[in-house]
Amino acid sequence: MDMPRFSFLLISYNQENYIEEALQSAFDQDYPNLEIVVCDDCSQDRTFELASQMVKAYRGTHRVILHRNEKNLGIGANFQQAYELSTGDWLFMAAGDDVSLPNRCRVVAEGIRKFPKALAFAANYELIDGTGKVFGYSREKHELQPGAVITWHRSVFSRFLLFLQF
Greater confidence (2 vs 26) lies with 26
Residue 82 above 90 pLDDT? yes
pLDDT score for 150: 78
Residue 162 above 90 pLDDT? no
CATH architecture of 6-164: Alpha-Beta Complex (3.90)
| Rounded Cα distance, 20 and 23, in Å | 5
Mean pLDDT of all residues in 106-131: 81
Residue 108 above 50 pLDDT? yes
Residue 12 above 70 pLDDT? yes
Element (H, E) at 56: helix 47-57
Q: Are the C-beta atoms of 119 and 150 separated by less than 8 Å? A: no
Helix (H, G, I), strand (E, B) or coil at 134: strand
| Rounded Cα distance, 8 and 60, in Å | 15
Q: What's the predicted TM-score (pTM) here?
A: 0.85
Greater confidence (76 vs 24) lies with 24
Q: Are the C-beta atoms of 47 and 72 separated by less than 8 Å? A: no
Strands of the chain (E only): list them.
Answer: 6-12, 34-40, 63-68, 90-95, 120-122, 126-128, 134-137, 150-153
Q: How confident is the model at residue 142 (pLDDT cuts 50, 70, 90)?
A: very low
Mean pLDDT of all residues in 85-97: 94
Name the residue ranges covered by the structural domains of the chain: 6-164
Mean pLDDT of all residues in 95-116: 91
